[in-house]
């Protein structure tokens, strides 16, 4: 934290060290110089009134969740990393996301990893774990580690714990309510909507897909198919020529409707993000208590999923977000204002390469959102007994 508060300079230093770089900003005479970005001033958010930061980010670009044999036409050859895994471009994007975090929080977080400043948790899934690794590599340059340790190293070792209270991954397998909702409740309103508005268009799409995939395709399958298109597009791959723009749009609209119904479901919000929101609220509460200040951390990072971000945003009352793209992030900031009161602000980045945040209102809490109101809200809405809740909830 001992940093030169006041100057706000970002220096670009040329270096022959291989860094996954962004463009070239250095001298023209060097062959393919790599721009090395060293943040030396205060981060955009590193303000004295900022007391605690929690960031939940979605993993980077991933491979489709489909197996080859589901749709023989859907080749996984383009995704050597395997089903649902972080792709090469996804890794790079998360590295760049880490650089953004450094630019935002430099000064609030030291160059050298310090255990008492930051905690990193991920869901127990390869793509989120690896995203957390890449984010931290981007956030913590190795040279500070060199200086302090007098060691050659390409990265600073930083612990990542797999005990994130984010239940996205567990809930899908364990909570009966989740399965029942998906099986019995999810599609009816969407189908109704289709039948009343654009049945012909949908019939045409389904028969077109069935013909080209060589098997009957129902509306329920559109989700995974469209999801695989997103993976392909993110890798710069061509979609099949027979996926015309109008078909693509209908599929996208179904995809978004499905996700919004999940994000907006109060019970799923509880099951998926309840324990995480409780931990966030507790960490801020502890931080605000002066006697705990030195034993709590400045920053908590959580690597999660679109469901984590979607259910949290909808819970807060922000249902105007479309869907959290790869590398999207929610930032909870705890501020102490001039009257020494604690207030919470939420900032949102829609995608890994968003440079500009959007400050999100917190309708459920009010404006300003006082810490005490937030704590009360979380305590009233979420029980501590997740396992029981997950078992007993009925449709």
Ligand X SMILES: *[C@@H]1O[C@H](CO)[C@@H](O)[C@H](O)[C@H]1NC(C)=O
Binding site for ligand X (CB under 6 A): 72-73, 124, 162, 212-214, 240, 242, 266, 285-286, 289-294, 377, 380-381
Least Cβ distance, residue 83 to ligand X (angstroms): 13
> With respect to ligand X, which residue has the nearer C-beta, 292 or 367?
292
Letter string b/e over residues 63-78, b meaning 16 or more CB atoms within 10 A of that residue's CB: bbebeeeebeebebee
Query: In the complex with ligand X, which residue's Cβ is closer, 115 or 355?
Result: 115
- Closer CB to ligand X, 145 or 374, in the complex: 374
**Smallest gap, in angstroms, from Cβ of residue 360 to ligand X?**
18
Could you tell me if 279 and 52 are in contact, meaning their C-beta atoms sit under 8 angstroms apart? no
- How far CA 347 is from CA of 86, 145, 167, 240, in Å, comes to 25, 30, 22, 37
**Token pair in block for residue 256:** 């978004």
Phi, psi angles (nearest 5°) of residue 64: -60, 160
Residue pair 190/219 in contact by the 8 Å Cβ criterion: yes
| Minimum CB distance to ligand X, residue 139 (Å) | 23
Cβ 77 to ligand X, closest distance in Å? 13
CB of 213 to ligand X, least distance (A): 6
Report in angstroms how near the CB of residue 177 gets to ligand X at its nearest: 14
Output the six-digit token pair for 279.
């931990």
- CB of residue 28 to ligand X, shortest distance in Å: 46
Structure tokens at 142: 């190795």
Q: Nearer Cβ to ligand X, position 355 or 387? A: 387
Residue nearest to ligand X (CB): 214
Nearer to ligand X, 294 or 339 (CB): 294
Residue 22, by phi and psi: left (phi above 0), alpha (psi -120 to 50) or beta?
A: beta
Of 101 and 263, which has the nearer Cβ to ligand X? 263
Helix (H, G, I), strand (E, B) or coil at 41: coil
Question: Smallest gap, in angstroms, from Cβ of residue 176 to ligand X?
Answer: 19
Name the residue nearer to ligand X (CB basis): 196 or 290: 290
Query: Whole-angstrom Cα distance, residue 373 to residue 285?
Result: 11
Q: How far is the CB of 315 from ligand X (least distance, A)?
A: 8
Comparison of 2 and 151: residue with beta carbon closer to ligand X: 2
Neighbour-count burial of 349, counting CB atoms closer than 10 A to its CB (0-12 exposed, 13-18 middle, 19+ buried): buried
Rounded distance between C-alpha atoms, residue 157 and residue 238, angstroms: 38
DSSP 72-123: TTS--TT-TT-TTPBPHHHHHHHHHHHHHHHHHHBTTB-SS--TTTEEEEE-
Whose Cβ is closer to ligand X: residue 30's or residue 242's?
242
Between CA 129 and CA 12, with CA 359 as vertex, the angle to 5 degrees is 65
Count Cβ atoms below 10 Å from residue 373 Cβ, excluding itself.
Answer: 16
């Amino acid at each position: 934290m001992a940093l030169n508060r006041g100057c706000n300079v970002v220096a670009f230093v040329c270096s022959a060290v291989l860094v996954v770089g962004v463009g070239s900003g250095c001298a023209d005479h060097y062959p393919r110089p790599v721009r090395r970005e060293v943040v030396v001033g205060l981060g955009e958010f590193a303000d004295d009134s900022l007391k605690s930061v929690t960031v939940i980010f979605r993993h980077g670009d991933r491979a489709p969740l489909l197996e080859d044999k589901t749709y023989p036409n859907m080749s996984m050859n383009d995704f050597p990393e395997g089903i649902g895994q972080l792709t090469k471009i996804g890794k790079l994007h998360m590295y760049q996301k880490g650089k953004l975090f450094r630019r935002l929080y430099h000064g609030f977080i030291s160059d050298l990893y310090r255990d008492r400043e930051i905690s990193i948790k991920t869901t127990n899934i390869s793509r989120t774990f690896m995203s957390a690794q890449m984010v931290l590599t981007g956030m913590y340059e190795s040279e500070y580690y060199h200086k302090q340790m007098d060691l050659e190293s390409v990265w600073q070792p930083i612990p990542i714990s797999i005990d994130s209270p984010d239940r996205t991954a567990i809930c899908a397998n364990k909570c009966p309510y989740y399965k029942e909702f998906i099986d019995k409740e999810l599609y009816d309103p969407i189908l109704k909507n289709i039948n009343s508005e654009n049945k012909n268009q949908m019939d045409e799409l389904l028969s077109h897909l069935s013909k080209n995939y060589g098997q009957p395709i129902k509306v329920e399958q559109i989700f995974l198919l469209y999801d695989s298109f997103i993976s392909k597009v993110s890798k710069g791959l061509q979609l099949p020529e027979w996926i015309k723009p109008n078909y693509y749009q209908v599929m996208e609209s179904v995809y978004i409707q499905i996700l919004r119904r999940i994000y907006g479901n109060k019970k799923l919000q509880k099951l998926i993000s309840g324990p995480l929101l409780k931990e966030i609220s507790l960490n801020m509460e502890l931080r605000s208590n002066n006697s705990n200040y030195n034993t709590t951390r400045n920053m908590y990072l959580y690597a999660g999923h679109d469901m984590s971000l979607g259910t949290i945003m909808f819970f807060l009352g922000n249902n105007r977000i479309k869907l959290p793209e790869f590398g999207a992030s929610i930032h909870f900031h705890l501020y102490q204002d001039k009257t020494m009161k604690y207030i919470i602000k939420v900032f949102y980045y829609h995608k890994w390469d968003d440079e500009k945040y959007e400050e999100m209102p917190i309708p459920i809490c009010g404006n300003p959102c006082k810490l005490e109101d937030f704590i009360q809200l979380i305590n009233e809405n979420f029980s501590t007994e997740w396992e029981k809740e997950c078992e007993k909830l009925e449709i």
